[in-house]
Structure 1
Amino acid sequence: MKAGERIEAATERVSELIVTQPKTIIVVFLLLSAVFAVGTTTISTEADVAEAFTEDLPEQEALDAIEEEFEGPFTADEETTQLVHRSNDVLTRQETLATLRTLEQVEDRADLRMESANGPPTMIAEAIDPNATTMADQRRAVEGATDTEFRQAVQALSDERGFEATVSDDFNANEASASASITVVTHEVPPEFDDEDLTGIQLSIDSIASGESSDIRVFGGGILLDEFDNIIGDSLAIVMPVVLLLLLGFLAAAYRDPIDLALGLFALLMTILWTFGFLGFSGIPFDQQLIAVPVLLLAVGVDFGIHIINRYREETVQGYDPVEAMRTANNQLMIAFVIVTVATVFGFGANIISDLEPIRNMGIVSSVGIAFTFLIFGLFLPAAKLEVDRLRERVGFPEFNSTPIANEDSSLGRVLSISAVVSDRAPAAFVVVLLISGGAMGAYGTGVDTTFENEDFLPPEEEAWYVEHIPEPFAPGEYTITETINLLEDRFEANQDESITIYVEGPFEEDHALESLESPNDDPTDSLAVGPGGEADATSILTVINAYAAEDPEFAALVERNDRSGNGIPDRNLDRIYDELFASPAGPQAEQYLTEDRRGAQIEYSIDAEPSQQEVATDGAEFAEDFRYTATSTGDIVIFDAITQIIFESATEGLTLALVLTAVFLVLSYAILERKPWLGVVNVFPIAISVAFLIGSMRLLGMPLNALTATILSISIGIGIAYSVHTTARFIDEYSVDQDVRTSLTTTLSGTGGALAGSMLTTSLGTGALALAITPVLGDFGLLMALSVLYSFIASIIALPPALYLWAAWIESGEATDRLTARLR
């Protein structure tokens, strides 16, 4: 027996099992559902999106080392909370007291672990009364000062660099006014302190601050994690009810029978349950990326469900009994389901090769979910349909509408089969036009942007119009992080100059150490050449040494005695210079640039604002190679560029892998099953056209490849393959009977095309519901998924028929040649 025959025999055995043992299949699947239900109770969530994407990046590891080794004056780490205050003028007595009263309440609560606070209100209070050490003392000092004393205190601070760093760019020293300020609260925490503890502290401080003044916002890692965590629940609460309502409406139109509708929905819910159960058992955390997975599974599940019910009805309306009708439907669809499932796993699973863990996890979970979808809709649903129909017959429950969605005599069937008529006239010209247009869209789409920003995963500052109309309990909570981030970027830009950091590791007590830090600055790469003479603008431990030498003649003499080359850079006895510097008033500043063990240093470089993120990152990496010691370029710009590059590579590699694996699999499948390998190539043709139009549409609509949309290209292959394979499988069945291409295509497009149309409407609107999610990354993905489904359907109806005409003509010409050769012999 040949391989194809063995596969068909195995398929028939599975079909026979379904129609002869439906109760057993139902019980087994319900028991498995109970097992997976246990797994859902162990699901964990991943709220820190940035950390998940930056894990194991060399640039992030360098930044982590810097944050661990060095402590800046206003660095927001796990032990600090920032109070961001904004108003017309935050330096008035009233606004200053608002922050001090907030700090006083925080200090009074031992559970908030406040160790100290530093910002304009505390500095002003200390300037008025240097002996005011507690927040209550400082509040009383400000309350008791005269207007003149208060104003003089603010003006006295205006020239201090530490004060200016805590107020907004519009700070006016003459008028002693500013529209925003930052006050940093430092917490004294035990070793076991974790993210959950920090979140609790910062939420409590936020409650205190909002009660004191709506102009004070709390900002910190705990608030960020809390909002990321809430986004997952709020997005699901908004999206899933809409998806289910749309599914209910369109499935009701597709099935037109409440019993069949209930079966289809139950199978969909079972698919989600199994997938979430696997998520819990596997230990993969649920994050924003995975919100899209249930929607993807619903898309494929709806397709499978409509096809099995619709094909079954096509047989029953011809008078076949339910068992025979289901046996025929299964025999025809099972192989198509297997092909679709494997090809879809290739499309979804291609993301497993990504270097970014969230994208890898999405590939794993979606692939497993697709396998579950096949089992549930390929085995459980047919068995349940048979048993329910038998029960309905026994109790006399009426059938509401058991006709197929479309047929050759229906209006929809005639519309869908138009391409069969048009393609018959000039299929080659039709294919050429599609190739040219698809190639043009694909070439245009190569210019699509690639981005990665934390803001993609956060709700926008201005909520979408529909959010305020969402009723409870589905309405999302209040999100402030994006507004605060925008405020910091807009009003503190001067204090947060665009820069990159070079982290250097080496023995910095060697004589040549400081000169090795300085020497690359004379010939920097382009984006770092911001000095008046084309040199780099660097801030390092040498900057601190020179600044303190300018203030302390004794230290200046020490530096000069140990500068043998006379170039202003000490080149011996560096250990003594460091000891003197760290013991001096400049010690805290020195600790920001040189580690205590003298084996690590950071250098901050200002960069030109004009070059792109990629150019800056490339220049930083190239510049780091010029250092004598091991050096790594890092900073948010560098890290985000590294992620952006990986996202682009993931998208292109995933697309290539999915397309190649799908094409090879389809060629082998049709070669084994039908001995027609070129049908595999024909199947890939409409998929390639739809992907080309999708990527072109992304650029046209201004939707970049980001952390989630980067997966859309390979996923679109997995989604699109269902439309192509189902059309081809039905065509082969019809063509093998009458050998007339036009008649076969007309029957295929009006019958299977009707099921595809129902599936397209349901899944495109269902996946498009992700556009209602409260984060841009999910919204863009939802819209692109809807486009992908629409393009896949159109391609299967328009691009596939002319390709099948050409394939049939080629087959017929080959057979004619064989007959002629046989006669000549």
Structure 2
Amino acid sequence: MDFVEWSVAAADRLVVEHTRRVVIVGLLLTLVFGAGLGNLTTESGTSQFTEGSPSEEAFEAVNEVFGPTFSADTGSTTLIVKDRNVLSKPALLRLLTLQERLLERESLRITEASSVARSIAQTIDPEARTLAAQHDAIDRATAREIDRAVAELAARPGFSRSLSDDFNPESARASATIATVTHEVPAGMGSGAGTSGESPLQGYQTGVESVAERSPGDVTVFGQGVVAAEFQNVILDSLVIVVPAAVVLILLFLMVAYRDPVDLGLGVLALLMAIVWTFGAVGLLGIPFTQMLIAVPPLLLAVGIDYGIHTINRYREERVAGARAQPAMRTTMAQLLVAFGIVTGTTVIGFSANLTSDLGPIRDFGLVAAMGIVITFGVFGIFLPAAKLFVDDWLGRSERPAKRPLGADDTALGRVLAGGLVLARRAPIATLVVIALLTAGAAAYGTGVDTSFNQDDFLPPEDTPAILDRLPEPFAPSEYTVTGTISFIEDRFASDQQSSVTLYVEAPMRDPTQLEELQHVNRNPPPAFVATDREAEVRWIGSVIQSHAAASPAFARLVARNDPDGDGIPEQNLEAVYDALMDSPARQQATQYITSDYRRTRLVYQVDADASDAEISGQARRLAEDVRGDATATGQVVVFDAISATILQSAITSLVVALVGTGAFLLVAYRIVEGRATLGLVNLAPILVSLALIVGTMRALGMPLNALTATILSIAIGLGIDYSVHVVHRFADEYPERPFWDALEDTVRGTGGALTGSMVTTASGIGVLVIAITPILGQFGLVTAMAIGYSYLAAMIVTPSVLVVWYRARVALGIDRPAPDI
């Protein structure tokens, strides 16, 4: 007896001879793993994807090194104020009053507050340095004085950036303005490109919201803490909406598949156990629950439903044929455990392929999904058969006639399932040629599918679908404002129509030619960089030198003495120039662009927001190559583009690993189990068809490969192989003892019926993710449901014809004897 036969026999004895013990142990393990659910923690946002990226590390280094604006010990809250005219005297007074109230709240740890109201007040009264004094200055001013102050400020760069794009300096009118308050936060606050689902600013910004709500006027509070809160809420709201909907759909289709309340109850119990065991283990291992892991329960349901329906359906086939309960279960397990083992092995390989990713959340997804599949195999391969025997015996059902299996010959479903058989009988080669052409075309078209990584993927849509707004408590989603606020800022504030990239340069800045070389780099910038008169719009130490020279005659003379070409950028005695700058009021501004040891600097370029991340990042990296010294392009655009490229690389790598690993596993498995290794290739053919159709459809629907859908290729292998394995293994089991066509017909009708029930149930259960709050989950649900549908159709239509061609090849090679009519 080989290892496979010994393992199946051992499992058979365990289930049939120790039924009660298996059931008790299974329930006790559920209690143990259930305790682990209490240890689950959540992690959300985009920062989990950016950690460890070289671009992200450079971004964090820049933020750590330069200036208070980029300090990891401060964070800001943005106040978006709307009014008929935010520059009117009453509106300015309301804004100053709000900022005064915020500063009075010591718990908010506000160190600075800025607004157009403060700028206008100080223009009217330069001695008004406190908010109270500025409030008095505005209160005493006439409308004409305020208008003159606005006109004077409008000539200064930067003032209009805090006002909406309808700002009219002549009439001193604008419908919106942005004010900020700066908080002191604990050291080590994340300063990376991504946004986390946890932020020390959350508590502060909740406090700011409470003050703003009690103040007159239309004020929206926005900041990292608000975004973090919505990242957290969207996970909970998605689960609260999706899980019940999935349960209802799954129960509905399982009722049709099982047509028996007892079998339905056992199937649902096994599904719950698989999920509790998996996520209890996740909690015990300390793996955080992320947006990525929301997809794991539906995947486990997909495999579990398949295993459950196959077990019950195969058992019923034997019972209808006249076998008693225990012999029927022995036959069922002898056949299905091998199929389940092959499915589990290939599915684990498919999911584990994600461990090759450079992105931590994708690796965690692959690990948890693979672990969950092994657990599901244990629950449905051992516990469910034992529970079925135990409950039937307990209820006295063992001697009663069994329900008919799905896909019986004289049923409508049985007749539909015969479609693949008709093609295999009449024109198998022509069928495969047409399918091969379709596959090649879809694959070629699918190579153009986009990749994407964007914070918007993880945030709720600006307008929640009406169907979700009408849901009763506790299913009604939270009120989400972040996406709408971001859109408002992008639409109404011209300064925010541009984003920026940073060059982080490590070079000897005392070198007489260093500033001149950096200035040369700023000339004739790439197309995606914003430029005026062929000069890049850039903030750097050179611009600080020029602005301070304009304000300080003494410093201007120092610069002039060391500027032979008279362009405002010194080429001599740079250390003396830097020292004078550091001893001046411009020190704080200078330290944002050069370090105190004069060995590191940064240049912040404005880039066109209409340009793609790939264009901006590519041009920024090429610009960095032109800089003398060690220069790195970074910034949120560059980091997110790098993550997008990593996502594509992860998708391709995991696909290759999954295909190679699955193919090798199938060849070995069928060689060991059936003595026919080539059946592994038969098994793989439908998967290649479904993969090509998936990527082609994704491109046609405009769905990108993002952080979650990038896993779909390996998932399609992991789940799709399930359908073809059941068909091929059932045929391999029937074929040695029966004529070819009889074996194939019983396979397609018998196994096809269970596959149909599994496909409809799991596609619906996973497809329900389309109603999730976050777009990324909705896309994943749709693509996964589509992958399941394609895998089912390929297994039922492609596999019979491939088996016919496989059999004819074996006959031609003299391995098998020819069968009639084939």
Instruction: State the TM-score bracket (shorter-chain normalisation).
Output: over 0.9
Contact 1:392/1:398, CA 8 A, preserved across alignment: no
Count of residue correspondences: 811
Task: From 37, 40, 44, give the equivalent of 2:41.
Answer: 44
1:388 corresponds to = 391
Is the alpha carbon distance of 1:468 and 1:398 closer, same or farther for their aligned partners in structure 2, counting shifts above 3 Å?
farther
Pairs within 5 Å for 1:233-244: 233-244=236-247
- Residue 677 of structure 1 deviates from its aligned partner by 1.1
- Residue 816 of structure 1 deviates from its aligned partner by 6.5
Is the alpha carbon distance of 1:758 and 1:450 closer, same or farther for their aligned partners in structure 2, counting shifts above 3 Å?
same
1:457 corresponds to = 458
- Residue 220 of structure 1 deviates from its aligned partner by 1.3
1:801 corresponds to = 800
Contact 2:325/2:398, CA 8 A, preserved across alignment: no
Aligned AA (1:432): V
Measured against aligned partners, the alpha-carbon deviations of 1:336-368 in whole angstroms (never above 9, x if no partner) come to 000000100111111111111111111111110
Is the alpha carbon distance of 1:521 and 1:399 closer, same or farther for their aligned partners in structure 2, counting shifts above 3 Å?
farther
- Residue 769 of structure 1 deviates from its aligned partner by 0.6
1:286 corresponds to = 289
Task: From 259, 262, 280, give the equivalent of 1:259.
Answer: 262
Aligned AA (1:748): T
2:482 corresponds to = 481
Match of 1:403, SS state, is coil
| Distance (Å, rounded) in 1 between the aligned partners of 2:398 and 2:171 | 84
Contact 2:116/2:162, CA 8 A, preserved across alignment: yes
Contact 2:442/2:692, CA 8 A, preserved across alignment: yes
Is the alpha carbon distance of 1:63 and 1:556 closer, same or farther for their aligned partners in structure 2, counting shifts above 3 Å?
same
Aligned AA (1:479): Y
TM, length-normalised to structure 2 = 0.94
Please state if 1:182 is matched with 2:178: yes
- Residue 80 of structure 1 deviates from its aligned partner by 1.6
- Residue 810 of structure 1 deviates from its aligned partner by 1.6
Please state if 1:355 is matched with 2:358: yes
- Residue 102 of structure 1 deviates from its aligned partner by 2.6
Please state if 1:33 is matched with 2:30: yes
Contact 1:199/1:226, CA 8 A, preserved across alignment: yes
Match of 1:79, SS state, is strand
1:823 corresponds to = none
1:786 corresponds to = 785
More moved, 63-72 vs 640-649: 63-72
1:11 corresponds to = 8
Gapped runs of 5+ residues in structure 2?
191-197
Pairs within 5 Å for 1:422-441: 422-441=423-442
Pairs within 5 Å for 1:396-435: 402-435=403-436
1:306 corresponds to = 309
| Distance (Å, rounded) in 1 between the aligned partners of 2:79 and 2:217 | 12
Please state if 1:671 is matched with 2:667: no
Pairs within 5 Å for 1:122-521: 122-130=118-126, 132-189=128-185, 191=187, 197-213=200-216, 215-393=218-396, 402-495=403-496, 497-521=498-522
Aligned AA (1:409): D
Aligned AA (1:449): D
Aligned AA (1:155): A
- Residue 629 of structure 1 deviates from its aligned partner by 1.5
| Distance (Å, rounded) in 1 between the aligned partners of 2:512 and 2:497 | 33
- Residue 524 of structure 1 deviates from its aligned partner by 5.2
Alignment root-mean-square deviation, CA:
2.4
Aligned AA (2:663): A
Contact 2:64/2:70, CA 8 A, preserved across alignment: no
Contact 1:86/1:216, CA 8 A, preserved across alignment: yes
2:711 corresponds to = 711
Contact 1:78/1:221, CA 8 A, preserved across alignment: no
| Distance (Å, rounded) in 2 between the aligned partners of 1:214 and 1:765 | 47
Contact 1:43/1:285, CA 8 A, preserved across alignment: yes
| Distance (Å, rounded) in 2 between the aligned partners of 1:487 and 1:87 | 14
Pairs within 5 Å for 1:624-635: 624-635=624-635
| Distance (Å, rounded) in 2 between the aligned partners of 1:181 and 1:354 | 43
Please state if 1:98 is matched with 2:97: no
- Residue 567 of structure 1 deviates from its aligned partner by 6.1
| Distance (Å, rounded) in 2 between the aligned partners of 1:753 and 1:186 | 64
Match of 1:218, SS state, is strand
Is the alpha carbon distance of 1:471 and 1:76 closer, same or farther for their aligned partners in structure 2, counting shifts above 3 Å?
farther
More moved, 96-105 vs 304-313: 96-105
Contact 2:350/2:714, CA 8 A, preserved across alignment: yes
Match of 1:212, SS state, is coil
Contact 1:107/1:135, CA 8 A, preserved across alignment: no
Aligned AA (1:657): V
| Distance (Å, rounded) in 2 between the aligned partners of 1:314 and 1:650 | 43
- Residue 486 of structure 1 deviates from its aligned partner by 1.3
| Distance (Å, rounded) in 2 between the aligned partners of 1:565 and 1:663 | 69
| Distance (Å, rounded) in 2 between the aligned partners of 1:162 and 1:567 | 24
Contact 1:530/1:608, CA 8 A, preserved across alignment: no
| Distance (Å, rounded) in 1 between the aligned partners of 2:203 and 2:500 | 33
- Residue 293 of structure 1 deviates from its aligned partner by 0.7
- Residue 129 of structure 1 deviates from its aligned partner by 4.7
Contact 2:407/2:417, CA 8 A, preserved across alignment: no
Measured against aligned partners, the alpha-carbon deviations of 1:471-494 in whole angstroms (never above 9, x if no partner) come to 100111111111111122222233
Match of 2:408, SS state, is coil
Is the alpha carbon distance of 1:214 and 1:228 closer, same or farther for their aligned partners in structure 2, counting shifts above 3 Å?
farther
Is the alpha carbon distance of 1:592 and 1:232 closer, same or farther for their aligned partners in structure 2, counting shifts above 3 Å?
same
Match of 1:293, SS state, is helix
Is the alpha carbon distance of 1:125 and 1:73 closer, same or farther for their aligned partners in structure 2, counting shifts above 3 Å?
farther
Please state if 1:575 is matched with 2:575: yes
| Distance (Å, rounded) in 1 between the aligned partners of 2:120 and 2:248 | 58
- Residue 249 of structure 1 deviates from its aligned partner by 0.7
Gapped runs of 5+ residues in structure 1?
820-825
Q: Percent sequence identity over matched residues? A: 46
Aligned AA (1:256): R
Contact 2:353/2:655, CA 8 A, preserved across alignment: yes
| Distance (Å, rounded) in 1 between the aligned partners of 2:361 and 2:217 | 36
Measured against aligned partners, the alpha-carbon deviations of 1:667-687 in whole angstroms (never above 9, x if no partner) come to 111111111111111111111
Aligned AA (1:788): A
| Distance (Å, rounded) in 1 between the aligned partners of 2:282 and 2:340 | 24
Contact 1:219/1:481, CA 8 A, preserved across alignment: yes
Match of 1:216, SS state, is strand
- Residue 415 of structure 1 deviates from its aligned partner by 0.9
Please state if 1:22 is matched with 2:19: yes
Match of 1:161, SS state, is coil
- Residue 128 of structure 1 deviates from its aligned partner by 4.4
| Distance (Å, rounded) in 1 between the aligned partners of 2:226 and 2:609 | 30
Is the alpha carbon distance of 1:117 and 1:568 closer, same or farther for their aligned partners in structure 2, counting shifts above 3 Å?
closer
Contact 1:69/1:595, CA 8 A, preserved across alignment: yes
| Distance (Å, rounded) in 2 between the aligned partners of 1:91 and 1:272 | 57
Task: From 107, 111, 116, give the equivalent of 1:115.
Answer: 111
Measured against aligned partners, the alpha-carbon deviations of 1:403-437 in whole angstroms (never above 9, x if no partner) come to 21221121111110121122111101111110100
Aligned AA (1:676): R
1:638 corresponds to = 638
Contact 1:501/1:635, CA 8 A, preserved across alignment: yes
| Distance (Å, rounded) in 2 between the aligned partners of 1:191 and 1:421 | 70
2:811 corresponds to = 812
- Residue 55 of structure 1 deviates from its aligned partner by 0.7
Aligned AA (2:59): L
- Residue 253 of structure 1 deviates from its aligned partner by 1.1
- Residue 189 of structure 1 deviates from its aligned partner by 4.1
More moved, 139-148 vs 333-342: 139-148
| Distance (Å, rounded) in 1 between the aligned partners of 2:403 and 2:714 | 36
